[in-house]
Structure 1
Amino acid sequence: MTWNIPNILTLLRLLAAPGVAIMFLYFARPWADWFALILFVVAATTDWVDGYLARAWKQESKFGAMLDPIADKAMVVIALLVICGFSGMNPWILLPATLIMFRETFVSGLREFLGDTAGTLKVTKLAKWKTAAQMTAIAVLFSTGAFETYFEMSVEGMDGATVDAILSGELPDEGGIGWKLNGAYYSWWIGIILLWLAMVLTVITGADYLRKAMPFLKDK
């Protein structure tokens, strides 16, 4: 193993993956949402930084090439599990999350089975776009959780008629429930659109990897 800055960044990204879930064990919401969002975004940024530094400094290594996709998958899978949990297993999230996690597990299994011939499944440009869409969708959906919590805290103790009157402008919005509700609404739909786009890219790239692996899966 070669211990250089790109590989250390990749290892830190891998260690940050369970940290996203741990935020919800030690902090109350919405702080847990914001801390998880910040940790996820910082870790996701290292995905680009470590690759750039490895190429620029000519420090590419087998250890980094092995660890990088594992760190990406761990971040995505754990974050999706957390989001599925606080969304109440909403089908708009559960379906794409399930397909994404299935594909990631399937491709990892293919790479393990192929062993020395796993170079056949090199990361493509489309796969990189897939990862970017996944991570962007996850970051946006973490902010949705924070906005929803702020809104629920602001309307606690209010009856439905009062909330409707504030949102319609009949009563002053002193608690800012309007912008909190709008934040939850728009971040939700932006996150959902990005997540479904990521799902489509995930399925396409998974099928492409299977096609490339088929010659090595046939019995003699």
Structure 2
Amino acid sequence: MPTDLPNLLTLSRIFSIPLLVLFVALRQPWSDFAACVVFSAAAITDYFDGKIARERQIVSSFGRMLDPIADKLLVGAALMLLAGFDRLPNWALLPAIVIMLREILVSGLREYLAGLNVGLPVTALAKWKTGFQMGALGTLLAGDSGAWAVGLDFLPVSLIGQAMLWTAAVLTLVTGWDYWVAGLRHAAGRDAPSVGASKRP
């Protein structure tokens, strides 16, 4: 049911996006820190909604549909906000582009494989990618101004976030390639002629 706790947590990631946009648009040190808090809280729900659903055995079709959508909306919104409000230097746009393209690729693969009744399992490396990606985006949303707002201006927060974003991009390429190979394998098996099938002239 949509009102189950795991699904409510998933929905909260989507509902947090307008608030995230508002805080980033204010361009104030306190609002940058608030944007980091909102994004981080939303990202953490991605762990708890799955954990609670498994423990209570309330995994639903609605949740399976909505969970990856909520993740991609949250990540996509954060990346566009960082790029649109000039919070990323030009050289840091490359990992952001890689991450966005990977999300589109995996979404397409999942849609295709779903038509074949084939699931695309989440690997351990993909979980590490998600961790670095969410950590990087939260750190970048805070930025140096957000760090200044809470007395942490001695830390190079933006540089730390950019380094984490590059790490996430590398993991994104590796996991994206793994998923792509898996998709090709299933597509090749689907297209292979059956034994004894007649050949076209």
TM-score by length of 1: 0.77
- The 1-side partners of 2:16 and 2:48 are apart by 15
1:2 shift after superposition: 4.7
1:130 shift after superposition: 0.8
1:38 shift after superposition: 1.3
| Letter paired with 2:49 | D
1:213 shift after superposition: 0.7
- Structure 2 residue aligned with 1:64: 63
Q: Residue by residue, what CA displacement relative to the aligned partner does 1:77-119 show, whole Å, maximum 9, x if unpaired?
A: 1101111233365123200000000010111112122333364
| Letter paired with 2:66 | L
Contact 1:29–1:149 under 8 Å retained in 2: no
- Structure 1 residue aligned with 2:13: 13
- Structure 1 residue aligned with 2:116: 117
Matched, 1:199 2:198: no
Could you list the runs of 5+ residues in structure 1 that have no partner in the other structure?
A: 151-175
- Structure 2 residue aligned with 1:213: 183
- Structure 2 residue aligned with 1:100: 99
**Per the alignment, do residues 84 and 56 of structure 1 end up closer, same or farther by CA in structure 2, a change over 3 Å counting?**
same
Structure 1: 4+ residue segments shifted above 4 A? 147-150
Give the total of aligned pairs. Answer: 189
- Structure 1 residue aligned with 2:195: none
Q: How large is the RMSD of aligned CA atoms in angstroms?
A: 2.3
- The 2-side partners of 1:28 and 1:88 are apart by 10
**Per the alignment, do residues 64 and 16 of structure 1 end up closer, same or farther by CA in structure 2, a change over 3 Å counting?**
same
Q: Structure 1 vs Structure 2: percent identity of aligned residues?
A: 42
TM-score by length of 2: 0.83
- Structure 1 residue aligned with 2:72: 73
| Letter paired with 1:9 | L
